[in-house]
């Protein structure tokens, strides 16, 4: 059905699937024959009865007392309807098959045929008719062109693929373990950093040359107050007001120092503080409404824009520069 054929190795031949396999198209039993109590024979309707991977065995979830078309254990089960068209599993038992699947039973070597059908899933999907709900007919399945090696070579191909898949599975498991170790290592590094252990030798080598954190905190608090005072003066000037004295400065609220009585001891020249003392929390929605999107604006970051620990600036919504200025000028102090 329009698939391009390539030149085969010497000794190989092309064949239609119907010539090398028995194809049983499913037919759904009467709906009132279904049960989940194990009465009758297992029923395979589609992916609900599939195991987690393509070559996994099917599972028992439904049964029927009036089976129609049957598959045998180890048949290839192929989805032939809907968005899952082309998906496969291996029959783990004799079962009745519904119209959403077909059973393919090789007349030569089942494992080779399983691998080939899995490799052409997209081709099978494209053979379906119907734009919204693909449906692959018996003829569409039967006429699939199969490249057929000599039987000994089929066995060799399957053995090599199983060897490579085993190596891949081993590699995947190793990567999972490495990823878990990296996550623990990253957490350990961050913990060591905030506890002072990461820079212990550096501090000892530069002892007496470093500015104590207490001095740094005093400077931050001084700058914080100066910024607040400048903002208040700007507001009064905009309103045409001139302060008569410094009493307006009494309105400034000094940040509250944390209670450190139950906190662990820090390295020399470190101090405990709170986020409030060293940072401004910007109100993300000072107007309490989501700003309109504009072309060529600045990124407006929401929860959905944070993925895998990174901010997706490119696909975030864009807002005007005026919105940015409004947000920058609004903080919770």
Residue 47 belongs to a domain: yes
In this structure, are 248 and 302 located in the same domain?
yes
In this structure, are 24 and 135 located in the same domain?
yes
Boundary (domain end) residue, out of 169, 198, 227: 198
Closest by CA position to 105, among listed 43, 15, 25, 160: 25
pLDDT of residue 287: 58
Number of domains observed in the structure of the chain: 3
pLDDT of residue 270: 93
In this structure, are 164 and 90 located in the same domain?
no
Which two three-digit tokens encode residue 324? 């940015």
Q: Which residue has the tokens 């599972």?
A: 59
Residue 97 belongs to a domain: yes
Residue 274 belongs to a domain: yes
Residue 316 belongs to a domain: yes
Which two three-digit tokens encode residue 1? 């059905």
Per-residue exposure over 223-242, b if at least 16 CB sit within 10 Å of its own CB, e if not: ebeeeeeeeeeeeeeeeeee
In this structure, are 139 and 161 located in the same domain?
no
Report whether 96 contacts 43 (CB < 8 A).
yes
HSE (CB half, 13 Å, CA atoms) of 225?
13
In this structure, are 174 and 275 located in the same domain?
no
List of residues 6+ apart from 283 with CB closer than 8 A: 327, 330, 331, 332
In this structure, are 36 and 116 located in the same domain?
yes
| Torsions phi, psi for 156 (to 5 deg) | -65, -40
pLDDT of residue 183: 92
In this structure, are 143 and 223 located in the same domain?
no
Q: How many CB atoms lie within 10 A of CB 78?
A: 26
Residue 244 belongs to a domain: yes
- Whichever domain contains 92, its CATH number is 3.90.220.20
Rounded distance, CA 115 to CA 162, Å? 10
Domain interval for residue 80: 13-149
Boundary (domain end) residue, out of 132, 149, 166: 149
Bridge partner residues of 17 (DSSP): none
In this structure, are 224 and 294 located in the same domain?
yes
pLDDT of residue 181: 95
Report whether 41 contacts 64 (CB < 8 A).
yes
Report whether 206 contacts 277 (CB < 8 A).
no
Residue 119 belongs to a domain: yes
Residue 8 belongs to a domain: no
Q: Per-residue confidence of the chain (333 residues) as pLDDT tens digits?
A: 557 888 999 999 999 999 999 999 999 999 999 999 999 999 999 999 999 999 999 999 999 999 999 999 999 999 999 999 999 999 999 999 999 999 999 999 999 999 999 999 999 999 998 767 889 999 999 999 999 999 999 999 999 999 999 999 999 999 999 999 999 999 999 999 988 999 999 999 998 888 999 999 999 999 989 999 999 999 999 999 998 899 999 999 888 888 998 998 899 889 999 888 887 766 655 555 677 888 888 888 888 888 888 898 888 888 888 877 776 654 444
In this structure, are 177 and 257 located in the same domain?
no
Report whether 146 contacts 138 (CB < 8 A).
no
Residue 301 belongs to a domain: yes
In this structure, are 143 and 33 located in the same domain?
yes
In this structure, are 241 and 324 located in the same domain?
yes
Boundary (domain end) residue, out of 140, 165, 198: 198
In this structure, are 100 and 137 located in the same domain?
yes
pLDDT of residue 333: 47
């Amino acid at each position: 059905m329009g698939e391009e054929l390539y030149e085969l190795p010497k000794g190989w031949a092309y064949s239609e699937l119907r010539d090398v396999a028995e194809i049983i198209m499913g037919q759904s039993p009467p709906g009132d024959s279904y049960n989940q109590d194990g009465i009758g024979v297992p029923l395979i309707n589609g992916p609900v009865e599939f195991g987690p991977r393509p070559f996994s065995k099917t599972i028992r979830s439904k049964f029927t007392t009036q089976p129609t078309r049957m598959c045998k254990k180890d048949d290839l089960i192929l989805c032939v309807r809907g968005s899952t068209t082309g998906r496969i599993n291996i029959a783990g038992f004799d079962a009745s098959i519904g119209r959403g699947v077909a059973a393919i039973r090789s007349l030569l070597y089942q494992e080779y045929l399983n691998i080939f059908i899995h490799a052409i899933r997209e081709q099978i999907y494209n053979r379906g008719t119907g734009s919204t709900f693909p449906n692959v007919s018996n003829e569409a399945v039967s006429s699939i062109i199969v490249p057929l090696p000599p039987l000994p070579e089929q066995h060799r191909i399957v053995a090599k693929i199983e060897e490579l898949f085993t190596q891949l599975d081993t590699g995947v498991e190793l990567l999972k373990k490495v990823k878990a170790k990296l996550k623990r290592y990253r957490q350990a590094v961050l913990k060591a950093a905030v506890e002072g252990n990461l820079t212990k030798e550096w501090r000892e080598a530069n002892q007496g040359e470093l500015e104590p954190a207490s001095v740094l905190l005093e400077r931050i608090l001084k700058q914080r107050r100066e910024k607040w005072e400048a903002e208040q003066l700007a507001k009064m000037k905009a309103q045409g007001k001139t302060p008569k004295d410094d009493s307006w400065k009494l309105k400034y609220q000094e940040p509250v120092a944390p209670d450190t009585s139950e906190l662990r001891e820090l390295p020399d020249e470190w101090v405990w503080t709170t986020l409030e003392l060293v940072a401004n929390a910007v109100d993300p929605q000072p107007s309490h409404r989501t700003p309109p999107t504009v072309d060529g604006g600045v990124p407006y970051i929401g929860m959905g824009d944070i993925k895998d620990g990174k901010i997706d600036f490119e696909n975030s919504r864009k807002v005007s520069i005026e919105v940015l200025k409004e947000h920058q000028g609004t903080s919770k102090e």
